[in-house]
Chains A and B, each alone.
Chain A
Amino acid sequence: DVKVTQSSRYLVKRTGEKVFLECVQDMDHENMFWYRQDPGLGLRLIYFSYDVKMKEKGDIPEGYSVSREKKERFSLILESASTNQTSMYLCASSLTTTEQYFGPGTRLTVT
């Protein structure tokens, strides 16, 4: 079974802090994705990566950056956290675009 793990299930940070969310997959997938999920808005793509050191902006990249130094690990970085970044963050990996495997999510609260 594909396993996607995220570093924290719950995280509380203060406004202005730098926040790192880590994601690791164990299936040698090329593609990795970061989404945020908010009530009534579904999942929105922040960034994705189709290879090591490669990244592409998704639909809502403002305020975020990413890093992919190793194939199995994809990090999401909030340079200066703000309250409007309070959300559920979901990481996914895939071989094909349609069948993505998601981690359990990190619920981030910024106070």
Chain B
Amino acid sequence: GESVGLHLPTLSVQEGDNSIINCAYSNSASDYFIWYKQESGKGPQFIIDIRSNMDKRQGQRVTVLLNKTVKHLSLQIAATQPGDSAVYFCAEKVGAQKLVFGQGTRLTINP
């Protein structure tokens, strides 16, 4: 079956540094990969997605990289701020309508 895993359950970075959150996936047939952010007490919030025929996509302060050769996805956050503290989930689109989520990485920002 499908599975999406994360390399680390927690990540701690200094405020102002760049953060890199990694994710491994198993389903080569997925046509989209997605990152969500979940702040404490809230539901997950969509950050950015990337189509499988791309290897990089940039958003506001975020960049997603896709390496299909090694089935690896990463989210880079530039100049990390206290408001970036959250749990980050990667997900892959399976079939027409389903997402399969990873377990999540908790990002902590040190002042």
B49 contact set on A, CB distance < 8 A: 98-99
- Chain B proximity of A89: nearest CB distance (Å): 10
B-side interface size class:
20 to 34
Q: Contact partner of A99 among B9, B46, B98, B101, CB < 8 A?
A: B46
Bound CA–CA A56/B96 (angstroms): 12
0/1 interface trace, chain A 34-65, chain B, CB 8 Å (1 if under): 01000011111100101000001011000000
Number of chain A residues close to chain B: CB under 8 A: 25
A97 near B46: Cβ-Cβ < 8 Å: no
B97 near A103: Cβ-Cβ < 8 Å: no
Chain B interface (Cβ within 8 Å of chain A)?
Answer: 4, 9, 32, 34, 41-46, 49, 89, 93, 96-104
Chain A interface (Cβ within 8 Å of chain B)?
Answer: 4, 31, 35, 40-45, 48, 50, 56, 58-59, 90, 92, 97-105
